[in-house]
């Protein structure tokens, strides 16, 4: 892999990733701690023939991004937890109508206005089901500066592959962290872009939702002569609303199956010093950086700890989680919330004895705190 060195912040790296991945439209609204993404794209996109627009609020920001995506271009919005709450209804529309979109959430303290300038991982459960109804969310979580770039690129490719919104979780620490990152070259990123599937046959035979039960819809770009109905209602193969029993059942099952049947394309995780580990730490996002430092201190003290870090949070890498929780008796989940991902670890592992180290006051977890917790175990 050809790498280039860049000194930047996490938010700015996410913006550069969007530009390099072929994003041509950004719609959003300023909100701490994500605003730098829009600031950067306001310069990057027009220079590439794209558009960056600040709308009157978060709702309009996601709505115009969905509209841009329907025209066939790669589109993105970015926000923090309160903005996701406002965008939720339109995100549900994009799930139902199968419109690809990248949504970057730079997490801060909540609920409500919470702690706007402080770090949190309180939006993990929200990312699994940001809108009401049944569907299978795809959520990626960067754990370092380089992944603020690479996971945003991956999100665009997954959004087009599965025809739905894909979430990228950063957090305030990563978003505002400034340092060196080694990222792929622009040429390599461009080579990895795969165009959305398009129907090229007789327009009279075009049925965008008439696909296999493990396949995403094929939505041709607007204005190219292929007609379909766009709706948030349950719909048939051409997109027109229906309440026919079997059609409704198959539609919702397909929204699940198109992701679940191809999870191997989505799963990504890191395993750090696990080969001989006698204690398993599970952490993600910026907390994993502190966990790695803690593990080095613990091993120097004779405690064999290792890290499992999910990079794809949803759908969770449940089989791999179970593999390690079956193998290692002592398990500690470290999060900047009150156990939102520990619930998933308990589900995946079938164990209810997963220990936790949680922090919700807007301050980062230190390696020292993790070391002390492990020693107490």
Low-confidence ranges of the chain (pLDDT < 70): none
CA distance 327 to 275: 10
Coil, helix or strand for 11? Answer: helix
Rg over CA atoms, the chain: 21
Question: 127 — phi, psi (to 5°)?
Answer: -65, -25
Q: Does domain 3-191 have CATH number 3.40.50.2000?
A: no
Length reported for the chain: 377
Predicted local distance difference test score (pLDDT) of residue 38? 98
Q: C-alpha angle 205/207/212, rounded to 5°?
A: 120
**DSSP letters for 40-104:** HHHHHHHHTT-EEEE-SSHHHHHHHHHHHHHTTSEEEEEE-HHHHHHHHHHHHHHHHHT--EEEE
Tokens representing 112 are: 């409500």
For residue 343, give the H/E element and its range.
helix 340-349
Give me the architecture of the 270-376 domain, per CATH: 3-Layer(aba) Sandwich (3.40)
Predicted local distance difference test score (pLDDT) of residue 2? 81
Question: Could you tell me the maximum CA-CA distance found in the chain, to the nearest angstrom?
Answer: 71
| Domain coordinates in residue numbering, the chain | 3-191, 270-376
Q: State if pTM tops 0.75.
A: yes
Domains 3-191 and 270-376 share a fold: yes
- Contact between 95 and 133 under an 8 Å Cβ cutoff? The reply is yes
């Amino acid at each position: 892999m050809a790498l280039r060195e860049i000194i930047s912040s996490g938010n700015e790296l996410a913006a550069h990733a969007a530009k390099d991945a072929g994003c041509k439209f950004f719609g959003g609204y300023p909100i701490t701690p994500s605003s730098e993404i829009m600031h950067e794209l306001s310069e990057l996109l027009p220079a590439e023939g794209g558009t960056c627009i600040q709308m009157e609020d978060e709702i309009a920001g996601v709505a115009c991004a969905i509209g841009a995506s329907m025209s066939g271009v790669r589109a993105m919005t970015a926000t923090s937890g309160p903005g996701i709450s406002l965008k939720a209804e339109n995100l549900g529309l994009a799930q139902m109508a199968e419109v690809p979109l990248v949504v970057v959430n730079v997490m801060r303290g909540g609920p409500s206005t919470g702690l706007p300038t402080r770090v949190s991982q309180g939006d993990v459960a929200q990312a699994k089901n940001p809108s009401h109804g049944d569907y299978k969310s795809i959520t990626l979580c960067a754990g370092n500066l380089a992944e603020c770039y690479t996971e945003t690129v991956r999100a665009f490719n997954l959004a087009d592959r599965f025809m739905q919104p894909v979430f990228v979780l950063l957090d305030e620490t990563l978003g505002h962290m400034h340092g060196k990152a080694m990222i792929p070259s622009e040429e390599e990123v461009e080579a990895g872009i795969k165009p959305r599937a398009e129907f090229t046959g007789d327009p009279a035979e075009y049925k965008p939702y008439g696909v296999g039960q493990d396949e995403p819809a094929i939505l041709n770009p607007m204005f190219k002569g292929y007609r379909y109905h766009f709706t948030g209602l349950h719909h048939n193969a051409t997109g027109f609303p229906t309440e026919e029993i079997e059609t409704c059942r198959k539609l919702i099952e397909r929204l699940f199956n198109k992701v679940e049947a191809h999870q191997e394309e989505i799963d990504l995780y890191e395993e750090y010093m696990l080969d001989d580990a006698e204690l398993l730490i599970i952490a993600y996002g910026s907390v994993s950086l502190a966990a790695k430092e803690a593990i080095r201190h613990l091993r120097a003290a004779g405690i064999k700890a290792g890290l499992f870090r999910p990079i794809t949070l949803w759908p969770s890498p449940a089989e791999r989680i179970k593999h390690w929780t079956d193998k290692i008796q002592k398990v500690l989940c470290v999060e900047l919330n009150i156990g939102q991902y520990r619930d998933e670890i308990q589900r995946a592992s079938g164990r209810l004895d997963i220990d936790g180290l949680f922090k919700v006051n807007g301050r980062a977890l230190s390696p020292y705190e993790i070391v002390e917790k492990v020693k107490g175990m």
